Structures are given as structure tokens and as C-alpha cells.
Amino acid sequence: MKKNIAGTEIDVNEEGYLTDMSQWNEQIAAAIAVEEGIGALGDGHMKVVRYLREQQAKGAALTIRSMGKSGVVTTKELYDLFPGGPLKKSSKIAGIPKPVGCI
């Protein structure tokens, strides 16, 4: 389905995750962050978002454990940056699919 985010028509799934990560830009990230209740995105958020996009492009499976070990962010920081769903919300903002794992 299509959704207008930050003035652009974007392809998303029924949960609002981008289905084509190449349609993403920082304005879209900012708009999703507000919608998700995260508010304005700072450097800390953007570091995570960029890392997620890099990993997704490589085809790596993302887990909360691998994020904590990435050196980009600690587990605590990740929970502080994206309260209410660290991996889910950061993935949505990063324009990548919803993480499928349980860890």
C-alpha cells in the first residue's frame, strides 16, 4: 500500500514498514519517528538508523544481542533511544523490514 510520509508517496506494508528501503530519506525517518512517539532524531538515533540500514543491505539478521555488540550502541542506550520497542521502532524509522527474530 501507499502512504504519504513527509510529502512523498512511499510503499509500506500494513504495519507501516517501508517495503522498499531505497525510498527512504532522513525526512521520512523524522516523520516516522514523530509518528512512533520517539520525537526529534538526534545523532544517537541516526547512528543506529544508519547501522541498521548498512546491516540490512548486507542481508544480516538483526537481533537485540547483535545490536548491543555492534559497538554502535549499548543495549541500555538502544532502549533509551527507542523506548517501547528498540529494534522494531528503530527498524521502522530506518525504513527496513520489521525484525522477524525472537531475540
Partner 1 sequence: MTDDKQPVKKMSIIVSRGSLDGIYPALIMANGARMEGIEASLFFTFFGLNALANKTLDSLKVSTVGNSALNMAMPMLGLPMTMPFPTWMGAIPGVSAFATHLMNKEMEKLDIPPVREFLELISDSGGKIFACKLAMDMFKLKKEDLMDRVDGVLTVGDFYNESAGAGTHILFT
- Any catalytic annotation for residue 22? no
Q: What's the min distance (Å) between Cβ of 65 and partner 1?
A: 5
Range 72-81 burial, b when 16+ CB lie within 10 A, else e: bbeeebbbeb
Q: Where are the alpha helices (DSSP H) in the chain?
A: 26-35, 43-58, 64-68, 75-81, 86-94
Residues 80-99, interacting with partner 1 (CB under 8 A): 83-88
61 counts as binding partner 1 under rule CB under 8 A: yes
91 Cβ contact partners less than 8 Å away, ≥ 6 residues apart: 17, 52, 62, 97, 98, 99
Segment contacting partner 1 (CB under 8 A): 2-10, 26-34, 41-49, 66-74?
A: 66-74
70 counts as binding partner 1 under rule CB under 8 A: no
75 counts as binding partner 1 under rule CB under 8 A: yes
The site for partner 1 (CB under 8 A) is made up of 61, 63-66, 68, 74-76, 79, 83-88, 101-103
